[in-house]
Amino acid sequence: DQKITVGDVKMPIVILGDPAYPLMPWLMKPYTGALDSDKELFNYRLSKCRMVVECAFERLKGCWRSLLTRSDLSETNIPIVIAACCVLHNLCESKGETFMAGWEVEANRLAADYTQPDTRAIRRAQRDALHIREALKTSFQTDQGN
């Protein structure tokens, strides 16, 4: 519930996503298309943060197939579901359950077939998300954003 202000924009807590996801106020994704140096720097720093999460999430998707499909949960419940999957994963690891490499490959194959919805509500939220991403991009240009 704690928000910071970057520039003149109140920052929500955000999930980091890749270009396949829609840009939302709570879901930041990299810029696409022709990029200037500021956008490239934003993408680089976002990618550095996202890589750790992405590797962990790939393992979770391999174990918990419910994470492969569209989630109709509210943005406040998504972190709870992900945390529950992490707890279950840690329990499996502590009991010596093995993670099969094929699970991750299958999860990636199934996820590639899923297209993101495009609705009026999503497009409206994306306009708000553009302001948030621009403020983050500007912040990333500073030493503090490093």
Contacts of 126 (CB under 8 A, 6+ apart): 22, 23, 24
Q: Determine contact, residues 35/133, Cβ cutoff 8 Å.
A: no
* 3-class secondary structure, 144: coil
d(Cα 80, Cα 93) in Å, to the nearest integer? 20
Q: What is the pLDDT of residue 34?
A: 92
| Mean pLDDT computed over 44-62 | 84
d(Cα 86, Cα 64) in Å, to the nearest integer? 10
- Closest C-alpha to 68, from 77, 76, 78, 58: 58
Predicted confidence (pLDDT) at residue 143 exceeds the cutoff of 70: no
- pLDDT category at 6 given cuts 50, 70, 90 is confident
Q: Determine contact, residues 140/37, Cβ cutoff 8 Å.
A: no
3-class DSSP string for 92-122 = HHHCCCCCCHHHHHHHHHHHHCCCCCCCHHH
Q: What is the pLDDT of residue 44?
A: 93
pLDDT tens for 55-111 read 887 878 877 777 777 777 887 888 888 888 888 888 888 888 877 777 767 766 766
Q: What is the pLDDT of residue 146?
A: 56
pLDDT tens for 23-41 read 899 899 999 999 999 999 9
Give 101 or 46, the one with higher predicted confidence.
Answer: 46
